Structure 1
Amino acid sequence: MSQQAPLTPFENALAGALGGVFSNAVIYPLDTVKTHIQADKNSKKEGEKVATGDEKRKGVKKQLGIVETLISIIRSKQGPTALYRGFGASMANTFIQQFAYFYWYTLVRSLYIRRILGVKEGAAALSTVMELTLGAIAAAFSQLFTTPVGVIATRQQIGSDGSGDNTFVGHIKEIYEHDGVTGFWRGLRPSLVLCINPAITYGVFERAKTVILAASGDQMTPGKSFVIGALSKTLATIVTFPYILSKVRLQTKNTPYLNAFEVLGHIFKEKGISGWYQGMHAQITKAVLSQALLFYFRDYFEIWTRQLLAFYGKKP
């Protein structure tokens, strides 16, 4: 692959989108569990276990863990199939999100190197700050297109609790009737803030890759990509998690919140700073596995993309 021409923005976007869908499809049940924990839908009151005490009077909730939430979802009316609620919408959101991100990232990065720096793309080594900046710009553009599908996917994963239409079309009608067109962009502001998440991930990945290649003089392997991808995503998730949590709460059905600061303020009063990291272990597990798998299989998807486009008579 090193002797082939670099992928165009479209080809890069297609390879990234296919890789994103594949990696997220593999771990989708974990994504459903993660969303339930962050939405606080499977909490139980300590008062149910304790006959007396402040916990019962205050109605303090105990958040279920990954395994407990998984069992709770499986025991629901839908059974194990509940783990795959919103699968179609989520995969569509993943494809659109990854395609848009990789397209804009490749395009913005190429334009910056050729037009601003005035050098050939292969000869340029960007600083970590610039990689983060370009990544954030690309992520911001992609969020404008992907937020509506993300809102629907989140609501489908959580479910309608036996009331309402939990289909893709059903949620479109419900969102439009209750919130109008702007309802499809609920959580856009925290999503824009979260643009630094992929920026940190890919910025750290590219920087670490450059350092490793310079030190070893060797090519990247799928194994190295997996490890670097996991570490990069873990760092990005820890930094941005409070806003990840607030975005999920804003996108749930009948949410009482108007903005991310209101969400975080309410959580802080109820549970303190630790509440801002509710479900972070599930988020990191899901995000790291998904991102590491994406980096691991990215080379293969680039090959498949070239072959697919060549099959349809496009330039390989």
Structure 2
Amino acid sequence: MAKVTQPPPLSPLGNAVAGSLGAIFALSITYPLDIIKTRLQVQSKDSKDICDDYYESTIDAIRKMLKAEGILGLYTGLPSGLIGVASTNFTYFYWYSFIRTRYQQARSTSSLSTAEELILGALAGALAQIFTIPVSVVTTRQQTSSITERKSLINTAKEITHEDGITGLWKGLGPSLVLCINPAITYGAFERFKDIMLKRNFNLTPGLIFCLGALSKTIATVVTYPYIMAKVRLQWKPPKKKVAVDGVEDEGDKQAFDVDSQNRKANSVKNKGAIAVLSQAILFYAKEYITQYTIILFVLIGRLSNRKLK
């Protein structure tokens, strides 16, 4: 099995490129599971008798979606999803690398405590969320819309702004900012685990990177899952049939904690959390390799620039 060696540090821009490419790769592989995860998150036990597309499990969701929408149904909202994950991870990795490097330089240390990793990660996550949440809102709306109500990326954004104004594109920002601790825990734990492995002379093989990524995301998901649910349900637009039957309307940010408490009772972490863990593990796996090629690319660009200057 090939070994993943520690590459020299990248610039914040290089880390942002590697992170966004790794995220695109991971989402491309796991997108059908991602859309199923989102649909499972927005449904509740109460809607079982009134919704034709209620899903009992991940397998049941795949079967029903293939029957109703075909294979393309599993990729509904993929363009906006890729834009969203690329922009979010680009922004996050850029700010995380920038802030972390500057902090290490100010402290004259290469080793940070767990608390410091969490704080720096949360700060980078907050900046990423503020800039990129509109794409997340559009993607969630596309993923959860029925075939008859589904619109393109641009038209979905127009519909949201028409119904809720421009601020509608930032719906769910409250729990999203709380969720900044999710990537903070994930990446902070991953860096700590890597440091421990390296200090004990473990080789960072692809398998080990995958396992460390999965473990880090599992910890973050267990801690923050109620807020993940709250964010998705705030961004979701209930189908017309459901609104007509039980009067469900979109909730505002101020109801996030009410949504949170309802979801803890109505939903299980099991299927949905596992999908997030798998996607994150693949992201870390891909990023470790992409980082090396990004370093090579930046070195080549630098050499070409120097030749032109000469």
Could you state the TM-score of these two structures normalised by the residue count of structure 1? 0.84
Partner of 1:224: 208
Per-residue CA deviation, residues 155-180 of structure 1 (Å, 9 max, x unaligned), is 111124413x5100111110111111
Contact 2:96–2:124 (CA under 8 A) maintained in structure 1: yes
Higher relative contact order (CA 8 A, sep 6+): 2
Contact 2:175–2:256 (CA under 8 A) maintained in structure 1: no
Partner of 1:252: 236
Amino acid corresponding to residue 287 of structure 1 in structure 2: A
1:217 alignment partner, SS class: coil
Mapped to 1, the partners of 2:39 and 2:78 lie a distance apart of 14
Contact 1:135–1:199 (CA under 8 A) maintained in structure 2: yes
Partner of 1:183: 168
Distance 1:2 1:296, change over 3 A: closer
Partner of 1:25: 28
Q: Pick the aligned partner of 2:63 from 57, 68, 71.
A: 71
Partner of 1:53: none
Per-residue CA deviation, residues 74-98 of structure 1 (Å, 9 max, x unaligned), is 222x322111000000011000011
Q: Percent identity?
A: 40
Once the two structures are TM-superposed, the CA of residue 265 in structure 1 deviates from its matched residue by: 2.4
Contact 1:193–1:243 (CA under 8 A) maintained in structure 2: yes
Mapped to 1, the partners of 2:257 and 2:283 lie a distance apart of 31
The answer to whether 1:15 aligns with 2:18 is: yes
Q: Pick the aligned partner of 1:37 from 17, 37, 40.
A: 40
Contact 2:26–2:282 (CA under 8 A) maintained in structure 1: yes
Mapped to 2, the partners of 1:4 and 1:75 lie a distance apart of 46
Partner of 1:51: none
Contact 2:5–2:204 (CA under 8 A) maintained in structure 1: no
Partner of 1:82: 73
Partner of 1:265: 258
Distance 1:197 1:91, change over 3 A: same
Q: How many residues align?
A: 291
Contact 1:42–1:72 (CA under 8 A) maintained in structure 2: no
Partner of 1:127: 113
Distance 1:279 1:82, change over 3 A: farther
Mapped to 2, the partners of 1:173 and 1:47 lie a distance apart of 29
Stretch of structure 1 that moved more, 39-48 or 16-25: 39-48
Once the two structures are TM-superposed, the CA of residue 2 in structure 1 deviates from its matched residue by: 6.3
Mapped to 2, the partners of 1:287 and 1:213 lie a distance apart of 26
Q: Pick the aligned partner of 1:207 from 187, 192, 203.
A: 192
Contact 2:230–2:259 (CA under 8 A) maintained in structure 1: no
Contact 1:85–1:159 (CA under 8 A) maintained in structure 2: no
2:237 alignment partner, SS class: coil
Stretch of structure 1 that moved more, 29-38 or 293-302: 293-302
The answer to whether 1:295 aligns with 2:290 is: no
Mapped to 1, the partners of 2:196 and 2:302 lie a distance apart of 37
2:250 alignment partner, SS class: coil
Mapped to 2, the partners of 1:238 and 1:297 lie a distance apart of 23
Extract unaligned runs of 5+ from structure 2.
239-248, 306-310
Query: What's the C-alpha RMSD, in Å, of the aligned pairs?
Result: 2.6
1:27 alignment partner, SS class: helix
Mapped to 2, the partners of 1:67 and 1:140 lie a distance apart of 34
Could you state the TM-score of these two structures normalised by the residue count of structure 2? 0.86
Amino acid corresponding to residue 70 of structure 2 in structure 1: G
Mapped to 2, the partners of 1:157 and 1:41 lie a distance apart of 16
Extract unaligned runs of 5+ from structure 1.
49-61
Alignment of 1:164-175 (within 5 A): 166-175=151-160
Mapped to 1, the partners of 2:91 and 2:118 lie a distance apart of 17
